[in-house]
Structures are given as structure tokens and as C-alpha cells.
Amino acid sequence: MNQREMGVRRFGRVNWLGLYTLAMREITRFAVVWTQTLLAPLVTAGLFLMIFTIAVGARRGDVMGVPFVEFLAPGILMMTVIQNSFANTSSSIVISKVQGNIVDTLMPPLAPLEMVLGYLAGGVVRGLFVALAIALGLWLFLGIGVVHPLWAFSFAVLGGALMGAVGVIAGIFANKFDQMAAITNFIVTPLAFLSGTFYSVTALPPVLQTITHFNPIFYLIDGARHGMIGVSDGSPVLGLAVVGGVTLALMALAWGMLKTGYRLKG
């Protein structure tokens, strides 16, 4: 097969078997250690809700017309989803680089876009499983249901895809675990905590409100809140558009890094 034929094959057809295999590998990675990847986030989310309920729940009063715990729950759910989606893709790439077996992913006939989608599949599926587990717990123990299921599902998928793409970028960039820890501690965690998870942005000074609206995770939290309890700080349509655009931009960046072999090839 000459170079032109290979180009036609690559751009004209998708390697569905390879894409499926990579996606299943990424899903299996977290499924076999479900107590760490699925049960642990559920326990952590439960502890967050319990601590805030005991510490400030009774004195906080209603927020945006709903009880504080009910306002807090969707933010905790989405924050947990994005953290786990990021962890799934970033850890997969970094571990492969550190162990020296990243070549097992680079050598098969997979296009850069197929690799991006394969990694994202694992992050999105893990995020959805975590979301489902937490939503079930909220319904069973707190009686909090889902007012707009389609909106909630859409933002959960986009949240997993956005932070999964961030995880791919971070995993490619980081060559050591301490570099990944720095990205998590100084970029991902602050963005997640300063996104309206624990408060309504209307309570912030105007300058901080403006800054918050440049944080894409704010729109994920706000969208999840609209989907679950029917209240939000902004328009869910605008939030969906912003998150979708940022996700596509991040996927394009991840595609470019994989295409050029940035920090992947010696």
C-alpha cells in the first residue's frame, strides 16, 4: 500500500475495531478496580454533603429558593464527575509513559482522532457511572430527583468529555507523576472549587462574577443544577454552547499533540 492509499484509508474510513478496543481497554481499566474508581467517589460525595449539612446546612437557609443541601448536591455530583473523568484519561497516559509501554497505543493503526475518542470514551463512561451512582444515592437518602433528565445527562456527558480531553492533554504534557500532581492541584482543583459548586455566583462581587463566567466548569455545575433541581444562575442553552465549544477546542488540541507526537516520541 503506497502513501496515497494509506492517506485515503486513514481519512476516508474509521478504524472501528481499533477505536472499540482502545475504548474498552480504558473502560476496563477503571471497572476492574471499581471500589477505587466508583465506590470511593460515591463515599467522598456523601461525606461532602454530610459535613456541609452538619456544619452549615441548618443555618444557611435557602439558596436560589431551594434548601442549601438540595442546591449543593448537583454541584458535588458534577465536581465528582469531572474529577474522575480527568483522572481516568490522565492516569492512563502518564502511567503508560512512565512504564514505557505508551508505544503499545501509538504503534497500532489508530489515527490521532481515534486515539482521542478512545481515551475520551473511558473518561465519559466513568463519569456517567459515577453520576448515576451519586444520583441514585441522592434519590434514596435525600429524596432529590432529576427534574430535567435530558439536560442533566447532556451536561454529564459534556463534563466527562471536557475534563477527559483536559486529562489527555495533561497526560501527554506530564512526564512524571509530580508534574501531573501539580496540574491537578494548581489547575484542575481550583477551577472545580471556584466554579459555583458551593455557592451561587450572584453572591460574589461583580468582578468575581465576571471572572467566574470565564471558567467553563461553572457552566457544567450550573447546567447540572438546572438538570437536577430546575434552578440555575444562567441559561442552560448558553452553558451547553460554551461547554461544547470548549470541549471541541480541547479535543483539537489533544488531536494536534497526538498527531505531532509531542512528548510521546523520543
**204 φ/ψ angles, rounded to the nearest 5 degrees:** -85, 155
Task: Count CA within 13 A, CB hemisphere, residue 121.
Answer: 18
**Residue 88: per-residue pLDDT:** 97
The gap from C-alpha 99 to its chain's centroid, in whole angstroms, comes to: 25
SS3 235: coil
| 266 in any annotated domain | no
8-state DSSP, 202: G
Q: Is-contact 119 197, C-beta < 8 A?
A: no
| 5 in any annotated domain | no
pLDDT digits (tens, 9 = 90+) for 3-50: 434 443 444 589 999 999 999 999 999 999 999 999 999 999 999 888
| 207 in any annotated domain | yes
User: Which residue range(s) make up the domain with 128?
Assistant: 19-260
| 112 in any annotated domain | yes
Domains in the chain, number:
1
| Residue 254 clears pLDDT 50, i.e. is over it | yes
| Residue 249 clears pLDDT 60, i.e. is over it | yes
Task: Measure the CA–CA gap between 46 and 23, rounded to whole angstroms.
Answer: 29
63 beta partners: 66
CA torsion 165-167-168-173 (nearest 10°) is 130
Task: Measure the CA–CA gap between 175 and 122, rounded to whole angstroms.
Answer: 21
Other residues' Cβ atoms within 10 Å of the Cβ of residue 190: 12
Is this prediction's pTM over 0.85?
A: yes
pLDDT digits (tens, 9 = 90+) for 107-128: 989 999 999 999 999 999 999 9
pLDDT digits (tens, 9 = 90+) for 38-75: 999 999 999 988 888 777 766 677 888 898 889 999 99
Task: Measure the CA–CA gap between 116 and 171, rounded to whole angstroms.
Answer: 12
**Residue 130: per-residue pLDDT:** 95
pLDDT digits (tens, 9 = 90+) for 77-98: 999 999 999 999 999 999 999 9
258's enclosing H/E stretch is: helix 236-260
| 240 in any annotated domain | yes
| 10 in any annotated domain | no
Average pLDDT over residues 230-255: 96
Would you mind telling me the total number of residues written for the chain in this entry? 266
Q: What is the mean pLDDT of the chain?
A: 91
